[in-house]
């Protein structure tokens, strides 16, 4: 891989690039699914390619190829330079990169059990056992289960002398039970919706998820939902489980703090942000209990955003985003750091694969747990009237990240400190800063989970990225509930 | 004036090379039936923001996907981008090993034999040859339009060429080549914005500078937007907004989706579900459509009437779904329509070339005929709230206007909607001329602008 990267780097620099970096990435991907007692799909995919990014007179060019002979790589480097020359024709402000030292490193992410050593028939057997347990509950009309494993091996070389090799294993799995009952479809997922839980881990994650142990309960809840009362429309108190709070963080904190959005670079597609530069250290984003970090370091946990270096060769860091409710930090790149006068990037440039440029992406954007011991049961006991919502079902937010609406799979009515009855179709909506300022309780560390969101879309051409979000159940007051089902 | 680029990669797949690779796969394969899917792409995209090209990328990529199948119905797929002999042998071995580990499936059909595929011409050399300098020139013109108004602009100008081949050991061969060109333009003023997008196989059908003028005009007209209360309004949806909503319906028209009881059409096929003026077809051969004329197994796509005068007429079927539907619900009279996804998969099939019947009104005429309502340029972040009522939520974006007395009066702050699509398609009272349209939430379609009564906005955002 280094030889391929070296050919590319030499060609780019020899062709006149003032800066160049090269990523050579090999990826292996295994995905499996079952549905209603049969295998849905089994796939094994591998890919190896080279992405070459160059700066020429302050203008960017990028070209990528999977033809890996020397002539093809040199042609691709020449094409990246030709693209950069074209960029110069519409360039108002030349790109400047914030300084970064050269780094040499080899890093292997955590992986106790290489998922590719687990036989595929063992994977299928697990999924079919889960499937049988789900369909063993009368009323379940559709059962789906998935496993997903990736191994990413990347060598990053830059004209500034960096040589960084990283190996990351990403694992995930989960399932859903659906109940069609004549005029509605209800669904329960475990451990999270849209494919389950994902982390920077090996097969040990799948063992820890206790998939089979929870299948009966999840299936029973799906059926019970079809007979449950409709979530009322009201303004009131909600408690979000940690997975839903993770997605709430992703949409209403993670995206608006991306400095490329703030600076208008994503205006055509992903949108901009209400967090204009004047808001930094001048906005009360949330209540005193709201402390949020962007932390790509391994000590934060094995998240989808955990890495040793980003795809610009900047080391993983922890950045305070919200401190005791005050907005104090963005996530950025070497380019945007220089644009706003920061001395250094905080290491959030990530590319989907070898054929895409790195963009500012979330690493692990997490809310810190509460300092006082507080369990979900304690929180419910402390709530006189409210709704506990579990597991995301729908999510939507405007292109500046003010107004959001989320739907969840299941709600529990809380009366006088006790869960009383199940509610179907729970939803809530609000304005980002009003919502976070209404948070008056969050559970403590033992109830905090680092969730993986594997499907975050951004960029043109669009890239899908995995992000991490640590969260614990939390309570919010005076929230609009049930607007999704307004008639 | 074109600016040829000698460094640009060429498309690395044609019929001759596809057959040669297939022969290598067959040599490496044992006794299994085998299917090969080859896809090659060269794509380039120039992205601009703040009136500057800030990202400018190119990619060439080829993939070889091998599916093997045993006589007892075991099947699996392995994919690589290594096309050297060693890479080909390795991917065939991986597919064979995965297949061996599957469970027998007595319902699996043998691979299809030779098919008669009517080719469609969607490869335009001038589109393929568009160079970085050519795209930069187009961006320069768009930026000039922004400068003329004192606006900031962001967007993309892109072109792509691709080739697709499916061959199997039962003699099926399917080939397709296609180009596409695309622009997407946002014009940003102080407190307003406008947007326009276009995509076509043939670059000459696009007029990005005229689109930039339209986007700029929307930004100008929607300046200083006012907040009006949410509620039910008469709404005119421009085609991009229509297609982004329609895109959430069409997976439900797959036969397997109905058999799995996850479709909102479960138990509703053959019923009159929408208004008399709603007719929707899937037609890959339509002159404004794009895409290959065959599905993921190489079966020819057939024109299919999905909805006729409000009645759900037909679903689409992959081969295996059709057999299962014939067995489980014979009244559906299912037959393969050539809409299957590559096997093996759990989703079956879906329409891919939507053509919605329009009317004769122009958008301007529809506005002029509206006493009070809202004009929606574009929708954003649409998600399904309820899968059976087909309630969707999302936001308006980049040009939302109050219409009064047949005129655009002013811009309004953007709304959140929560709207049942079943209800909405019963409340359409005017359709404009259908056109090829592009959005961000769904694939391109041929759809009209539509006027809807009682469209439900539930909240207003801050801009």
Question: Tokens 């020819």 appear where?
Answer: B300
User: A178 and chain B: CB distance < 8 Å anywhere?
Assistant: yes
CB-closest option in A35, A405, A485 to B346: A35
Encode pLDDT of B140-189 as tens digits: 999 999 999 999 999 999 999 999 999 999 999 999 999 999 999 999 99
pLDDT at B62: 97
Q: Which residues of A touch B101 (CB under 8 A)?
A: 119-121, 124
pLDDT at A484: 95
User: A484 and chain B: CB distance < 8 Å anywhere?
Assistant: yes
CA angle B298, A356, A367 (to 5 degrees): 110
Q: Which residue of B has its CA nearest to A265?
A: B49
Encode pLDDT of A101-140 as tens digits: 999 999 999 999 999 999 999 999 999 999 999 999 999 9
Encode pLDDT of B52-68 as tens digits: 999 999 999 999 999 99
Q: Which residues of A touch B131 (CB under 8 A)?
A: 86
Does the ipTM surpass 0.90?
yes
Flag whether pLDDT at A173 surpasses 90.
yes
Put simply, whether the predicted model's pTM sits higher than 0.95 gets the answer yes
Encode pLDDT of A229-245 as tens digits: 999 999 999 999 999 99
CB-closest option in A83, A84, A185 to B388: A185
- Residue B17 Cα, gap to closest chain A Cα (Å): 15
Find the mean pLDDT for residues A205-221: 98
Contact B418 A119 (CB under 8 A): no
Q: Which residues of A touch B183 (CB under 8 A)?
A: none
Question: Is there a cis peptide before residue A73, judged by omega within 30 degrees of 0?
Answer: no
CB-closest option in B12, B53, B262 to A185: B262
Locate B75 and state its tokens.
């099947």
Contact B79 A35 (CB under 8 A): no
Mutate one of B64, B86, B385 to test the A interface: name it (highest A CB count within 10 A): B385
Contact residues, A window 192-231, toward B, CB-based 8 Å cutoff = none
CB-closest option in B139, B262, B440 to A142: B262
Locate A332 and state its tokens.
């950025």
Encode pLDDT of B20-38 as tens digits: 999 999 999 988 999 999 9
Encode pLDDT of A176-190 as tens digits: 999 999 899 999 999
CA distances from B375 to B364, B366, B391, B396, B398 (A): 11, 10, 21, 10, 11
Q: Alpha helices of A323-465 — where are they, by DSSP H?
A: 334-339, 376-381, 432-437
CB-closest option in A44, A178, A267 to B78: A44
Mutate one of A90, A95, A264, A433 to test the B interface: name it (highest B CB count within 10 A): A90
Flag whether pLDDT at B1 surpasses 60.
no
Contact yes or no for A124/B103 (Cβ under 8 A): yes
Find the mean pLDDT for residues A428-451: 98
Find the mean pLDDT for residues B307-324: 98
Encode pLDDT of A264-275 as tens digits: 999 999 999 999
User: A39 and chain B: CB distance < 8 Å anywhere?
Assistant: yes
Mean pLDDT of chain B: 97
Neighbour count for residue A347 (Cβ, 10 Å): 29
Encode pLDDT of B82-129 as tens digits: 999 999 999 999 999 999 999 999 999 999 999 999 999 999 999 999
SS3 state of residue A48: strand
Locate B281 and state its tokens.
């077809």
Contact B386 A44 (CB under 8 A): no
| pLDDT over 70, % of chain A | 100
Q: How far is Cα A184 from Cα B70, in angstroms, rounded to an integer?
A: 39
| pLDDT over 90, % of chain B | 97
CB-closest option in A43, A267, A431 to B154: A267
pLDDT at B30: 85
Locate A289 and state its tokens.
């209990």
Locate A279 and state its tokens.
């808001």
Strand positions, DSSP E, A304-425: 318-323, 326-327, 349-350, 359-360, 365-367, 385-397, 403-415, 418-424
Contact A86 B143 (CB under 8 A): no
Q: Which residue of B has its CA nearest to A462?
A: B440
Encode pLDDT of A311-361 as tens digits: 999 999 999 999 999 999 999 999 999 999 999 999 999 999 999 999 999
Mean pLDDT of chain A: 97
Locate B294 and state its tokens.
């065959």
pLDDT at B143: 98
| pLDDT over 70, % of chain B | 100
pLDDT at B196: 98
Q: How far is Cα B249 from Cα A478, in angstroms, rounded to an integer?
A: 34
H-run or E-run covering A28: strand A19-35
pLDDT at A49: 98
pLDDT at A486: 82
Nearest to B461 by CA among A396, A457, A276: A396
Find the mean pLDDT for residues A219-235: 97
Contact A403 B382 (CB under 8 A): no
pLDDT at B210: 98
Q: How far is Cα A117 from Cα A104, in angstroms, rounded to an integer?
A: 30
Find the mean pLDDT for residues B131-135: 97
CB-closest option in B7, B95, B158 to A75: B7
Q: How far is Cα B462 from Cα B440, in angstroms, rounded to an integer?
A: 22
Flag whether pLDDT at A487 surpasses 80.
no
State the count of interchain CB pairs (< 8 A) between A and B.
284
Contact A268 B103 (CB under 8 A): no
CA distances from B407 to A457, B228, B391, B400 (A): 37, 17, 30, 13
């Amino acid at each position: 891989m280094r030889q391929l990267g070296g050919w590319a780097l030499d060609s780019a620099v020899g062709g006149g690039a003032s800066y160049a970096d090269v990523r050579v990435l090999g990826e292996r991907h295994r995905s499996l699914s079952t549905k209603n007692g049969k295998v849905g799909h089994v796939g094994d995919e591998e890919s190896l390619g080279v992405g070459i990014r160059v700066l020429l007179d302050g203008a960017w060019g990028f070209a990528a190829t999977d033809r890996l002979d020397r002539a093809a790589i040199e042609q691709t480097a020449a094409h990246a330079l030709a693209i950069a020359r074209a960029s110069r024709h519409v360039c108002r402000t030349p790109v400047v990169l914030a300084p970064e030292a050269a780094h040499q490193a080899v890093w292997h992410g955590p992986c106790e059990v290489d998922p590719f050593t687990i036989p595929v028939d063992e994977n299928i057997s697990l999924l079919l056992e889960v499937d049988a347990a789900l369909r063993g509950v009368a009323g379940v009309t559709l059962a789906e289960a998935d496993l997903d494993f990736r191994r990413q091996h990347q060598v990053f070389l830059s004209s500034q002398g960096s040589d960084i090799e990283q190996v990351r294993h990403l694992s995930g799995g989960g399932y859903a039970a659906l109940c069609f009952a004549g005029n509605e479809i209800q669904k329960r997922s475990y451990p999270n919706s849209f494919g389950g839980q994902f982390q920077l881990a090996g097969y040990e994650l799948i063992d820890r998820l206790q998939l089979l142990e929870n299948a009966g309960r999840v299936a029973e809840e799906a059926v019970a939902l079809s007979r449950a009362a409709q979530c009322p429309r009201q303004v009131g108190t909600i408690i979000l489980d940690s997975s839903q709070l993770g997605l709430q963080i992703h949409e209403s904190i993670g995206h608006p703090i991306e400095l490329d959005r703030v600076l208008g670079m994503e205006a055509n597609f992903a949108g901009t942000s209400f967090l204009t530069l004047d808001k930094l250290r001048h906005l009360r984003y949330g209540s005193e209990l709201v402390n949020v970090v962007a932390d790509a370091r391994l000590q934060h946990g094995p998240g989808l955003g955990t890495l040793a270096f980003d795809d610009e060769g900047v080391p993983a860091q922890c950045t305070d985003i919200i401190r005791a409710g005050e907005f104090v930090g963005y996530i950025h790149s070497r380019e945007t750091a220089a644009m706003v006068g920061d001395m250094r990037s905080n290491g959030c440039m990530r590319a989907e694969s070898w054929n895409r440029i790195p963009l500012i992406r979330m690493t692990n954007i997490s809310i810190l747990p509460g300092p006082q011991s507080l369990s979900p049961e304690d929180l419910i006991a402390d709530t006189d009237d409210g709704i506990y919502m579990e597991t995301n079902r729908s999510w939507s937010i405007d292109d500046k990240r003010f107004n959001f609406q989320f739907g969840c799979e299941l709600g529990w009515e809380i009366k006088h400190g006790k869960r009383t009855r199940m509610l179907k179709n729970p939803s809530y909506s609000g304005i980002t800063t009003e919502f976070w300022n209404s948070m008056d309780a969050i559970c403590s560390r033992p109830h905090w989970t680092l969730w993986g969101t594997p499907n975050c879309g951004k960029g043109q051409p669009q890239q899908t990225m995995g992000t991490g979000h640590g969260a614990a159940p939390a309570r919010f007051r005076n929230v609009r509930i049930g607007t999704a089902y307004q008639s | 004036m074109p600016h040829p680029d000698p460094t640009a990669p060429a498309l690395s797949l044609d019929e001759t090379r596809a057959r040669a690779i297939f022969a290598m796969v067959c040599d490496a394969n044992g006794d299994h039936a085998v299917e090969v899917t080859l896809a090659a792409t060269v794509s380039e995209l120039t992205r601009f923001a703040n009136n500057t090209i800030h990202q400018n990328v190119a990619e060439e990529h080829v993939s070889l996907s091998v599916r093997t199948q045993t006589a007892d119905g075991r099947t699996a797929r392995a994919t690589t981008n290594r096309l050297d002999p060693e890479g080909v042998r390795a991917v065939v071995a991986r597919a064979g090993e995965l297949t061996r580990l599957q469970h027998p499936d007595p319902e699996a059909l043998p691979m299809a034999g030779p098919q008669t595929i009517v080719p469609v011409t969607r490869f335009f050399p001038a589109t393929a040859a568009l160079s970085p300098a050519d795209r930069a020139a187009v961006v320069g013109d768009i930026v000039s339009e922004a400068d003329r108004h004192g606006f900031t602009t962001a967007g993309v100008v892109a072109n792509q060429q691709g080739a697709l081949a499916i061959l199997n050991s039962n003699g099926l061969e399917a080939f397709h080549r296609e180009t596409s060109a695309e622009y997407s333009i946002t014009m940003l003023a102080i407190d307003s914005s406008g947007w326009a997008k276009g995509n076509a196989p043939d670059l000459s059908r696009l007029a990005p500078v005229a689109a930039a003028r339209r986007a700029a005009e929307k930004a100008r007209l929607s300046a200083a937007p006012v907040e009006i209360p949410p509620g039910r309004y008469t709404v005119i949806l421009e085609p991009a907004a229509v297609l982004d909503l329609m895109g959430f319906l069409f997976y439900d028209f797959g036969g397997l989706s109905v058999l799995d009881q996850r479709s909102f059409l479960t138990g509703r096929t053959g019923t009159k579900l929408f208004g008399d003026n709603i007719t929707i077809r899937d037609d890959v051969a339509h002159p404004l459509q794009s895409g290959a004329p065959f599905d993921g197994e190489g079966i020819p796509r057939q024109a299919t009437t999905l909805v006729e005068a409000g009645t759900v007429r037909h679903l689409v079927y992959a081969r295996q779904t059709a057999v299962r539907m014939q067995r489980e619900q014979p009244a559906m009279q299912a037959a393969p329509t050539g809409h299957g996804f590559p096997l093996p998969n759990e989703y079956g099939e879906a329409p891919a070339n939507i053509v919605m019947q329009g009317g004769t009104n122009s958008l301007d005429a529809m506005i002029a005929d509206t006493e009070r309502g809202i004009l929606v340029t574009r929708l954003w972040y649409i998600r399904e709230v309820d899968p059976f009522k087909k309630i969707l939520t999302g936001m308006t974006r980049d040009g939302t206007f109050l219409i009064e007395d047949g005129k655009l009066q002013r811009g309004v702050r953007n709304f959140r909607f929560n709207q049942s699509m079943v209800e909405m398609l019963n409340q359409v009272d005017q359709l404009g001329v259908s056109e090829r349209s592009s959005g961000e939430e769904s694939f391109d379609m041929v759809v009209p602008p539509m006027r809807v009564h009682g469209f439900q906005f539930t909240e207003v955002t801050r801009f």
